[in-house]
C-alpha cells in the first residue's frame, strides 16, 4: 500500500518558545491556523516510537493498513486521499502521547461510519477496547430520527456517554474536529458555517471543560474565521500591524521583569504571548471597544520552579509595577473547574498600559495547556489520581447519572449544556472541600452535587451557619451544609429553582418513577394546601368532583392527585379550576368567589414547568413582560402578555378563567420572541442582519420573508431566542444601527387561536 506523505502538521502544542524575550503569537505568520499538513505514516511511527513499545507500534501499523484498505479510493473534498485524515488525527493524538489503543482508534475512527465495518470485526482484529472507542466515535446514521435536531442530539449523547466511560473518546473526537476545522476551506459556505457554529457551541466548551486550552483557543479562532471571515481578516491584519507598533513597549516590559525576578533570586522562564483573535474580538464586542482601545492584546507568563515561588514572584512584580485594584485572581488556592491553576494579576506597565501576568509552576503550565490529556504525558501507574483527574472523573460520572435519569436525547443534551458553561461559583463543604457550580446555582443544586440521595431528602440548608431555604442562590466562598430527612421527597416545585443538569434530571427522574401510592399522597397534599389557601375543603361535593373529572379527562380523583404528584399538573391551577366549579347557592355567591380569588397568590413561572404551563404562541411572552394566565378546561395554563389581542378577545368570552401570573426572579433558560425588520432590498442585507443577531448573543429559530412592501423595501420576520426584554431591546438597538434597516419592531401579537 502507498504511504501518503505531505507537509508535516503544525499545532500549537508543538511550537516551542525560542527565547524569553520573544513574543509568541497564537499562530506564526508563516503558518496560518488553517494549515493542513499531514504526517506520513512513517513520520507518525517515528514520533510514536519515542514513547511506545515496538509491540504497540506493530499493532498501530496493522490498524493503519486496515484503515488504508477500507478507505482505498475514497478522497476528501480537498482532493487528498481520505487516509490522510485519520493519519492527521493520529498525529494530533500522538502530540498528547496517548496510548496505543487511542492511536489505533484515531486511525480507524471512520471505518464503521463510512465503510460499514461491523464492531464485531474490529473486536476480532484489534480487541474490544479499540472497538469500543471507535464505536463511541461513530455517528448514528443508520437510525431514523424525527428531525435533524433529534439526530444531532442523539449523536452527541452517544459521544458524551462513550466519553464518560472512557475519556479517550472525546480526546480523539477533539483531534478529529480540530483537523476538520483546519481543512474546512474545502467545504461549501453553508456547511462551513454550520460546522463552525457547532464547534463553537459544543466542542469549544467541552475542550474548555477538560482543560485542553491549546485546542480550546485554536478551535475558537478557526470557528471565528469561518463564522465571520471579514471580521477575522480585519482583526488579524490589525494584530499583525500592532506587533511592530507595540514591540518596544513589550520588549521593555519583558526585560524589566526578567531582571527584577533575577535580582530577587528566582529561577524563572518569562514569555509574552498574544491573546488569540477570538479572545480579542469577544472583548471588543462585550465592552464595545475599538481595536485601538484594547490595550492588553499581550499577556505575559512567568513559570517558576515551585509553588511558594509563585507568590514570591507575585510580590516581586507588584513591587515593579502598580497592580490594578480588583484585578487579582488566585486560581492556585481555588483551581478552576477544569483543573487550571495560576495566579492572575493585572499591572500598570510603562506608558500606563495595563499588562496581565500569569504566574505558575511547570506542572501547572503543562496542565494549563493539555488539561486532562496532560497525565498521559507523564503517566505513572503508581501515582494516585491527580486532583484534575478526580474532578474530570466526577463530571464524567455525572453524565452517566444524568443518562440513567433521562430518556430523551434532547433533554439529556439540555442538561449537559448547562454544566458546560465556564462561569462558575465556588463554595465549600463543612469539611472545606471546594465544590464548583454554575453561576446562579442554589443550595438544592449543591445537595444533588454531593449525592443524589442527599438532594432527594433535603429539607433545608445552612449557608455560613445560618438556616436558609433550599432555593437560596449560592455565592463565592459560601460554606454550605444540607439538612436531610428520611420523609422528604422531591416535589415539582423544585424544578423551578435548580440550575445544574444533574439536579434537574434527578428531580424529573424521581417524579417519573415514584410509586403510584406515593404520587397520589403527594398530589393530595399539594392540592389540599392550594385549596386551603382559598378556604375550600378538599372533600369536594359529588357534583363538583364529577364535573372536575369530566373536564380534566381523568377516571378518578386518585388519577388527578397522581398527575399533580408527578408534576403533570400544577396544584394551584387545579385549585383555581375547582373554585370556578363551586356552586355557591347563597345570595352573595359572587362576593364569596371574589373574596376567595383575592387570596390566590400569583402563579410564578420560570420556563421549566411541565406541559401544564404553556407560553402562548400568539404573543410569545418573555421575562420582563406583564403576564396574564388563561386557565383552560383541561387545567393547563396558557400564559399571555397582558396586552395580547388574542388574550383580550378570550377574556371577553371566559372572564372567570383568568388568573395572575408572574415571572420567577431569575428564569434560567432562553425564550422565543418575534421581530419584524423592514430593510432596503439590496444584496447582503439578510446576511448583515443575521450576523448582528448572532453577535447580540441570540439564536435565530426561523426566518420568513414577505413580498416587497415597495420596490426598495423587504419585510423580514425573525423568530429568535433571548433572555429577557433587556436582551431583546439591546438586540433591536444593534440591528437598527445597520445600514439599510428602515424599521425594526417586536411583533407583539399574532391572531392565533388558543
- The residue ranges of every structural domain in the chain are 12-226, 231-377, 388-511, 512-663, 671-746
Mean pLDDT over the full length of the chain: 77
The per-residue pLDDT for 398 is 59
Q: Which fold would CATH assign to domain 671-746? A: Alpha-Beta Plaits (3.30.70)
Q: Tell whether the model's pLDDT for residue 359 goes beyond 60.
A: yes
641-690 pLDDT, tens per residue? 988 888 888 888 877 678 788 887 766 567 889 999 998 888 778 888 88
Grid cell of 750 as nine digits: 399574532
Q: Tell whether the model's pLDDT for residue 600 goes beyond 70.
A: no
What percentage of the chain reaches a pLDDT higher than 70? Answer: 74
458: confidence class by pLDDT, cuts 50, 70, 90? very high
Which of 17, 56, 114, 363 is labelled catalytic? 114
Q: Looking at residues 430-447, what average pLDDT do you find?
A: 82
Least confident of 211-220, 608-617, 650-659: 608-617
3-state secondary structure of 138: coil
The per-residue pLDDT for 746 is 92
The answer to whether the 388-511 and 671-746 domains have the same CATH topology is: no
Beta carbons within 10 angstroms of residue 372's beta carbon:
25
Who has greater pLDDT, 303 or 371? 303
3-state secondary structure of 358: strand
Beta carbons within 10 angstroms of residue 733's beta carbon:
11
Strands of 362-518, DSSP E: 424-428, 434-438, 458-463, 466-468, 480-484
| For the ranges 202-211, 215-224, 632-641, 741-750, the one whose mean pLDDT is highest | 215-224
692-721 pLDDT, tens per residue? 888 888 878 778 776 555 567 888 889 888
Active site residue 95: no
Grid cell of 408 as nine digits: 430523551
Asked if 440 and 668 touch (Cβ cutoff 8 Å), the reply is yes
Measure the CA–CA gap between 114 and 119, rounded to whole angstroms.
13
Give the contacts of 84 (CB within 8 A, at least 6 positions apart). 4, 6, 38, 76
The per-residue pLDDT for 381 is 42
H/E run at residue 324: strand 322-330
The per-residue pLDDT for 410 is 53
225-237 pLDDT, tens per residue? 998 888 888 888 8
Measure the CA–CA gap between 456 and 173, rounded to whole angstroms.
35
Q: Tell whether the model's pLDDT for residue 597 goes beyond 60.
A: no
Distances (CA, A) of 132 to 42, 55, 139, 210, 467: 26, 21, 13, 21, 48
Of 742, 718, 568, 696, which Cα lies nearest the Cα of 288?
Answer: 696
Which architecture, in CATH terms, is 231-377? 2-Layer Sandwich (3.30)
Which of 56, 62, 99, 113 is labelled catalytic? 113
Asked if 367 and 341 touch (Cβ cutoff 8 Å), the reply is yes
Measure the CA–CA gap between 429 and 503, rounded to whole angstroms.
18
pTM over 0.85: no
CATH 3.40.630.180 describes domain 12-226? no
Q: Which fold would CATH assign to domain 388-511? A: Ubiquitin-like (UB roll) (3.10.20)
The per-residue pLDDT for 157 is 60
Who has greater pLDDT, 534 or 413? 534
Active site residue 113: yes
What percentage of the chain reaches a pLDDT higher than 90? Answer: 16
Instruction: Identify the DSSP state of 81.
Output: B
Amino acid at each position: 500500500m502507498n504511504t501518503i506523505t505531505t507537509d508535516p502538521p503544525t499545532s500549537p502544542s508543538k511550537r516551542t518558545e525560542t527565547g524569553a524575550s520573544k513574543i509568541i503569537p497564537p499562530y506564526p505568520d508563516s503558518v496560518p491556523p488553517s494549515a493542513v499538513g499531514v504526517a506520513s505514516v512513517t513520520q507518525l511511527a517515528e514520533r510514536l516510537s519515542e514513547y511506545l513499545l515496538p509491540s504497540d507500534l506493530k499493532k498501530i501499523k496493522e490498524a493503519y493498513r486496515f484503515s488504508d484498505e477500507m478507505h482505498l479510493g475514497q478522497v476528501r473534498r480537498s482532493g487528498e486521499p481520505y487516509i490522510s485524515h485519520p493519519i492527521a488525527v493520529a498525529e494530533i493524538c500522538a502530540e498528547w502521547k496517548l496510548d496505543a489503543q487511542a492511536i489505533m482508534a484515531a486511525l480507524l475512527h471512520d471505518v464503521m461510519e463510512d465503510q460499514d465495518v461491523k464492531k464485531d470485526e474490529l473486536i476480532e482484529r484489534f480487541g474490544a477496547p479499540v472497538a469500543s472507542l471507535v464505536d463511541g466515535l461513530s455517528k448514528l446514521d443508520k437510525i431514523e430520527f424525527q428531525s435533524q435536531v433529534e439526530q444531532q442530539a442523539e449523536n452527541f449523547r452517544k459521544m458524551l456517554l462513550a466519553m464518560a466511560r472512557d475519556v479517550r473518546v472525546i480526546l480523539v473526537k477533539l483531534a478529529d474536529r480540530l483537523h476538520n476545522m483546519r481543512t474546512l476551506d474545502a467545504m461549501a459556505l453553508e456547511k462551513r458555517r454550520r460546522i463552525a457554529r457547532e464547534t463553537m457551541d459544543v466542542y469549544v466548551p467541552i475542550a474548555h471543560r477538560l482543560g485542553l486550552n491549546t485546542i480550546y483557543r485554536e478551535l475558537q479562532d478557526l470557528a471565528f474565521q469561518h463564522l465571520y471571515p471579514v471580521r477575522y481578516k480585519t482583526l488579524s491584519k490589525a494584530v499583525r500591524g500592532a506587533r511592530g507598533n507595540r514591540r518596544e513597549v513589550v520588549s521593555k516590559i519583558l526585560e524589566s521583569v526578567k531582571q527584577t525576578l533575577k535580582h530577587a533570586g528566582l529561577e524563572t522562564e518569562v514569555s509574552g504571548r498574544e491573546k488569540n483573535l477570538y479572545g480579542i474580538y469577544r472583548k471588543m464586542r462585550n465592552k464595545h471597544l475599538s481595536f485601538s482601545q484594547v490595550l492588553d492584546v499581550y499577556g505575559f507568563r512567568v513559570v517558576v520552579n515551585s509553588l511558594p515561588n509563585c507568590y514570591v514572584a507575585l510580590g516581586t512584580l507588584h513591587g515593579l509595577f502598580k497592580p490594578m485594584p480588583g484585578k487579582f485572581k488566585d486560581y492556585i488556592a481555588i483551581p478552576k473547574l477544569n483543573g487550571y491553576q495560576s495566579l492572575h494579576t493585572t499591572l500598570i506597565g510603562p506608558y500606563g498600559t495595563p499588562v496581565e501576568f500569569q504566574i505558575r509552576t511547570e506542572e501547572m503550565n503543562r496542565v494549563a495547556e493539555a488539561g486532562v490529556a496532560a497525565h498521559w504525558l507523564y503517566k505513572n501507574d503508581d501515582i494516585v489520581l491527580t486532583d484534575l483527574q478526580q474532578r474530570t472523573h466526577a463530571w464524567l460520572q455525572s453524565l452517566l447519572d444524568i443518562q440513567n435519569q433521562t430518556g430523551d436525547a434532547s433533554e439529556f443534551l439540555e442538561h449537559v449544556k448547562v454544566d458546560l458553561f465556564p462561569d462558575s461559583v465556588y463554595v465549600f463543604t463543612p469539611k472545606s472541600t471546594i465544590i464548583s457550580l454554575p453561576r446562579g446555582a442554589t443550595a438544592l443544586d449543591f445537595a444533588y452535587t454531593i449525592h443524589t440521595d442527599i438532594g432527594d431528602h433535603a429539607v433545608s440548608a445552612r449557608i455560613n451557619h445560618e438556616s436558609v431555604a433550599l432555593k437560596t442562590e449560592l455565592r463565592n466562598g459560601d460554606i454550605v451544609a444540607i439538612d436531610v430527612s428520611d420523609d422528604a421527597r422531591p416535589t415539582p416545585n423544585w424544578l423551578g429553582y435548580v440550575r445544574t443538569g444533574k439536579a434537574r434530571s434527578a428531580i424529573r427522574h424521581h417524579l417519573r418513577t415514584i410509586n403510584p401510592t406515593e404520587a397520589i399522597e403527594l398530589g393530595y397534599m399539594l392540592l389540599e394546601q392550594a385549596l386551603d389557601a382559598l378556604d375550600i375543603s378538599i372533600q369536594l361535593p359529588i357534583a363538583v368532583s364529577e364535573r372536575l373529572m369530566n373536564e380534566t379527562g381523568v377516571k378518578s380523583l386518585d388519577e388527578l392527585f397522581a398527575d399533580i404528584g408527578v408534576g403533570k399538573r400544577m396544584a394551584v391551577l387545579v385549585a383555581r379550576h375547582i373554585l370556578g366549579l363551586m356552586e355557591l347557592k347563597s345570595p352573595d355567591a359572587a362576593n364569596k368567589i371574589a373574596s376567595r380569588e383575592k387570596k390566590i397568590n400569583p402563579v410564578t413561572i420560570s420556563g421549566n414547568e411541565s406541559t401544564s404551563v404553556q407560553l402562548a404562541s400568539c404573543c410569545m411572552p418573555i421575562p420582563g413582560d406583564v403576564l396574564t394566565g388563561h386557565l383552560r378546561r383541561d387545567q393547563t395554563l396558557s400564559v399571555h402578555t397582558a396586552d395580547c389581542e388574542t388574550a383580550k378577545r378570550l377574556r371577553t368570552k371566559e372572564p372567570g378563567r383568568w388568573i395572575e401570573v408572574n415571572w420567577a426572579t431569575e428564569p434560567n433558560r432562553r425564550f422565543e420572541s418575534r421581530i419584524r425588520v423592514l430593510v432596503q432590498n439590496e444584496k447582503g442585507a439578510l446576511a448583515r442582519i443575521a450576523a448582528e443577531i448572532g453577535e447580540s448573543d441570540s439564536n435565530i429559530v426561523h426566518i420568513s420573508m414577505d413580498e416587497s412592501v415597495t420596490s426598495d423595501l423587504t419585510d423580514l420576520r425573525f423568530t429568535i431566542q433571548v433572555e429577557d426584554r433587556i436582551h431583546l431591546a439591546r438586540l433591536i438597538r444593534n440591528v437598527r444601527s445597520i445600514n439599510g434597516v428602515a424599521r425594526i419592531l417586536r411583533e407583539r401579537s399574532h391572531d392565533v387561536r388558543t
